[in-house]
Amino acid sequence: MRTDQGLFSGIFGRGGVDTGDQAWLQAMLDTEAGLARALERAGLAEPGAGAAVTAAAQADAFDVAELGRQAALTGNPVPALVRELSAMLPRAAAGAVHHGATSQDIIDTAAMLLARQALSAMAADLSVAASGAAGLAAAHRDTVMIGRTLLQQAVPITFGLVAAGWLTGLDDARQALSRVRAERLAVQFGGAAGTLASLGGAGRQVAALLADELGLTRPVLPWHTDRLRVLDLAGACAGAAGALGKVARDITLLAQSEVAEVREGDGQGGARGGSSAMPHKRNPVGAVALLGCTRQVPGLLASLAAAAEQEHQRAAGAWHAEWQPLGDLLRLAGSAASWGAELLAGLEVDPARMRRNLDATRGLPMAEQVASLLGPALGRIAAHDLVAQASARAAGAGLDLRAALLDSAEVRQRLDEAGITARQIESALDPAGYLGSAGEFVDAALAAHAAAETRLVP
């Protein structure tokens, strides 16, 4: 059950990622319980202590607001949490609470537990999004549309190629998240200054047992002021946000009224996209909301990068600066993934409109192909200049490029001299004949996706 429901949570807290106060608290308690079990396994706590601490370590039994008030006295909420948890237990079991640990051990490990849950939820949504993109790529492998560079019409492409580009970005993001989840989520257990001196010679053994109890990686040594794990996690989430943002931005552009080549489906909640002022509107709400999530991510990533420089064995402030940005980044990347899953699963494509928009260019995007046809006979530069002049004449007079080429006596004479027939010109003006390797690229993306599906398990 999500714990951060609020006015904006339907947009920015969507999906299965939970980094609310209750989730943070439960992750801290899970860490304390795991430590108690590890200490018992190492023979450093009374038999049954681990089970007793685990039974008591339930977030619902604690007052989050009061812990927050107490945190102002110590710089973090762990000391107050330890006191309350210990008070709930018999003395023998209470002795296993927090033994050997410092506050940063508990919060850093809790962050890793939250990240593991978040990455699993993101992976599931990204898998759905990637499947949606793959379906679009396969269905529209040969659907011709105009390509656009610098927001201007360029040369013909296929919508399948567009969707294949989305697909490879999403699959790359999934791969990065999978690597972080498998390799970089490590337990933190170093005690006061990274030596675990309070545990004598059993420190490394308890650290290994704690990692085993929590299902986290065991690091070579404590990483109190080595924050590369946090940056790897944040970077992978930011990469996923970037891949999702690319999809959403393309959709907002393709869904513009004057373009209208795609439209969003209604989504799980029924018809949406209305305006508070304009009854006729059907806004691309999913894409807009997704972008609302992803636009916040770079600033959060920058905050975490700035906090990575930490002094000596424990940081003064930089570590504290990570908590909220990391939670927010996980939540927003997870929300974006949830939006992306729905968006791509329900996206509606209008091939007829794509063709009309392409035909409305009156053949001008085929100028490069025509110049290529003329190049061997006229020379590359002369062919370029001839077609450029015809294109300018077509644009200025409202003609199509065919007419500008074939209805001009001067141009027709040069074509005849070069041995270029009208049929060859018309063939060169066919967008379907100038798609290059688009189809093969789509096939390659789909094959790579099929291979990724065998490796990447949400």
- Structure tokens, 153: 């019409």
Which residue shows structure tokens 């688009």?
Answer: 438
Which residues carry out catalysis? 275, 314
**Hey, what amino acid is at 155?**
V
DSSP 8-state secondary structure symbol assigned to residue 59: G
Burial classification of residue 457, based on how many CB atoms lie within 10 Å of its CB (0-12 exposed, 13-18 middle, 19 or more buried): exposed
Taking a C-beta distance cutoff of 8 angstroms, is the pair 349, 143 a contact? yes
- Structure tokens, 326: 């990391």
- CA–CA distance, 425 with 404 (Å, rounded to integer): 11
- CA–CA distance, 414 with 394 (Å, rounded to integer): 18
Taking a C-beta distance cutoff of 8 angstroms, is the pair 236, 183 a contact? no
**Hey, what amino acid is at 278?**
M
Q: Specify the DSSP element, H or E, that contains 148.
A: strand 144-149
- Structure tokens, 121: 């939820």
Which residue shows structure tokens 């003006």?
Answer: 429
Taking a C-beta distance cutoff of 8 angstroms, is the pair 285, 239 a contact? no
Nearest-5° angle of CA 449, CA 454, CA 438?
15
- CA–CA distance, 443 with 437 (Å, rounded to integer): 10
